[in-house]
Amino acid sequence: MDDHLIEHPMVWQDRLPEAYKEAGPRIVETESGQQLWQYEDRRSSNIGLNAVAGKDPTQYGVDPIRYDQMIPGCYEPEERLKDMDIDGVYSGLCFPTFPRFAGTTFNEGVDKKLALLCSQAYNDFMIDEWSAIDPVRLPPLVVLPFWDVEASVAEVYRTAAKGAKAITFPENPVPLGHPSFHSDHWEPLWNAIEETDLPLCLHFGTSREIPTTAPDAPEAVFISLMGTNSMKAMADLCFSPVFHRHPNLKVSLSEGGIGWIPYLLERMDDTWEKHRFYQAINQEVKPSELFRRNIWGCFITDDVGLALRHDIGLDRITWECDYPHSDSHWPNSRKMVEESFIDIPDEDVRAIVETNAAKLFKLKV
C-alpha cells in the first residue's frame, strides 16, 4: 500500500484562515512557465516529484514542471479511480508530495502556527476531498505536526474521529531535529496511536537521509539503496523500547522492499544473542519476534522477497503500486503482478495483494 498524489493548487488556499493565505502554500508561475509551490519565503524545486506515470522509461529523469505535464489522475481523485481501474488496482494509500511523504515540509516552517494549520489543512483535504469520493479505494492517510507532540496527539484523535485510516510518519526523527525512537519523547503520541489503532506508515526517505556514496555517484546508486533506509528503521525500532511498551502499535515500511527482511531478521537476532548483555535493550524478546508482531513490509516488485515470503511471514507482506512514480508499473501493474506471482499459490497471492492490507488498514473490501 503505497501510492502518491500531487496536491492541486487550492489545497491550502481553500482552507487556511485569511491571515495565513499569503504565507501558506500557493502555486506561483515563473517567467519560464514553471509552476512552483511558494510557502513562506521558500519555493519548492518542482510540483510533480517523479510524477511520470504514463511516460516511457527513456523519458525519465526530468520531473514535470506544470500540472498539464502530468496525467490528471495525479491530482484528481475521480481520475485516479479511473487510472486504478485501468491498472486493475482496487485500493491505494496516497502519500503527500509537496508536504513530502511524512509532512516534513511543515517541520521546516518558520511560523509553527501556520505549519500546524498546513498539516491540518492537508488532512482535511485528504479526508474531506481526496478520500471522500471512496474511502475504501482511497483510504485517508494523514500527516502529523510531529515537531509538537501535544499537537500531534490532538491531530491523531481529530483525524481518527473524521475517518483517518493510517498515519505517515518519518522513518527516523533524528535527522529532522527531533528525539529518537529510543527516547521517552514520543510516548504520549504512541499511546494515542495505539489507542486509535491507526497503522504508522514509515515511507523510505522520510528521514531525508539519502543513501548516496559520493557527490559524483550516478542516481542509480542511491535509488538502488533506498531500501537500506527501511532496514535502518526496522533495526532502530526493534532495538528500541517502542514495541515493548506498545505491543499493539503497527508499523508499515512503505516502499522499503522485502527481499532483505530475512537477512536482517537473522542478523538482528544474532546481534541480540551475542551483544545484549552490556546494552540497554530488552533481554527477553528477540527482535524477530517484534517484527512478526508489529511490522509489515511493502514492495512493488521483489521476486527475491516473494520467494522468501514464508521466511518473512506471509501475513507481514503487502503489495504496492507506487503510482505515479517511476518505480510503478502503471498501467501494467496487473500484468507485472501476474508475471511476478506466477509460481505463487493463489491463497498466498490473495494475502499479499489484498487481504493483508485490508486487515492492516481495516478496509472493508
- Rule CB under 8 A: which residues touch a copy of itself? 57-62, 172, 174, 180-183, 211, 213-221, 223-225, 227-228, 231-233, 235-236, 239-240, 257, 259-260, 262-264, 266-268, 270-281, 287, 301-305, 308, 311, 326-327
Helix (H, G, I), strand (E, B) or coil at 297: strand
Min CB(295)–a copy of itself separation in Å: 14
Tell me if 167 sits within 8 A of 199, measured CB to CB.
yes
- Rank residues 19 and 304 by Cβ distance to a copy of itself and give the closer one: 304
The Cα–Cα gap between 291 and 259 comes to 15
Min CB(326)–a copy of itself separation in Å: 6
- Rank residues 48 and 259 by Cβ distance to a copy of itself and give the closer one: 259
Min CB(155)–a copy of itself separation in Å: 24
Residue 65: CB atoms within 10 Å: 18
- Rank residues 183 and 248 by Cβ distance to a copy of itself and give the closer one: 183
The Cα–Cα gap between 23 and 227 comes to 35
Tell me if 195 sits within 8 A of 167, measured CB to CB.
no
- Rank residues 188 and 211 by Cβ distance to a copy of itself and give the closer one: 211
Among 91, 106, 129, smallest CA distance to 3 is for 91
Min CB(168)–a copy of itself separation in Å: 19
Residue 41: CB atoms within 10 Å: 7
Looking up cell 519523547 gives: 185
Min CB(314)–a copy of itself separation in Å: 17
Min CB(241)–a copy of itself separation in Å: 10
Looking up cell 519555493 gives: 43
Looking up cell 503489495 gives: 319
- Rank residues 248 and 279 by Cβ distance to a copy of itself and give the closer one: 279
Handedness of CA 10, 16, 17, 22 (dihedral sign): negative
- Rank residues 69 and 228 by Cβ distance to a copy of itself and give the closer one: 228
